[in-house]
Structure 1
């Protein structure tokens, strides 16, 4: 099956907007500033009740960033999954799924074209993620101090138990001389982070929306290797919840995803 796209054919980027207007603004602004190759940006706006979300989206509509804004009337996980799956019929062999708390960057030019170059160069890859910027990981002691000794909240808001912390200060994973590395032992993560992925469209059409871990298994069963590139980095702004959103509820977050998944 041909999985190459014409160089002038835009790659569709689906952005799932879950809320937190400051993070959404940062994500969208970075797209305006960093994408230099043809792209179609489709924003899936999940009706978050914060009124600033609408203002942020309106600003980037005026910048003409979006090919489409899908607005929902309810704040439900299944809104995103259904709209995403429906629109896969109209995109090319590769597309990007990203979440609105991500800022992507690349020291080699356009991160979108770099990820596409990598998947074209290695046909064994079906799912390509990027390496997290570890500078945003907060020291555990500092996180607990901010949360007044509440260890549970500190662990959740600062992601103290994230396996991606194993990338901190380990140069082998940050080596940009290789295009990518598979997410299998000895890699500390078993799948590319679901917050920013370039994906083979045909596999997603077949299996539908999946969270990142089961999605990686779907690709493996189809004979493809999930991989991560250090040549593209991303900031995971949710690591800053411990500063910006100290009342962010793990219970509500977990219920939102489990109830509607």
Structure 2
């Protein structure tokens, strides 16, 4: 991971197939969730879905991702910034990361950098709590990338489509139960609340990983790889922060 002699950043994309892999998790519950033994036969319906998924898997050989993260149309790069998009569902929580490059003429471009995800625990949690887990996962991904990338970076930006998480992170006084408090503390240790922003679900590419998408959609211009188009625009055109009109009264 690092700069080539031509000044172009090249890294190996990580977890690029997450949305497709998690699509299988949405359809095939674990053995414990089904409350069946490991050697019991699966239903015909599940067998059909499994064979279909295996057949679709072959199509991923046609899936391609550019390995150069600096766009050819940009001038001299003067800034590099990582953007993390978080999301969660009852199946999984995930983070999609993009590297935004700004040049000396005020232009910007961005590319998919890496993805990270975890399956939701067997003990069911509320979606707001899983969204908070996704936020923690994003901060850990940020620490890992910063250690390995080997180039100067501007302050990272974190995006979530959960207003509850935004309120959690913005709160510096209210006391929460242990589960919430520990994760808020982990986020505050490595980020400032000003680094966190709200994004609508339709612009959140991490949504693809938590809900899963079909292989046909992976082979198209999917938002998981393409990312949100507003990142190529100046910051004043990014989604604006919604007004927080009331404080959290309890732990969701």
**TM-score of the pair, normalised by structure 2:** 0.25
CA radius of gyration, larger in:
2
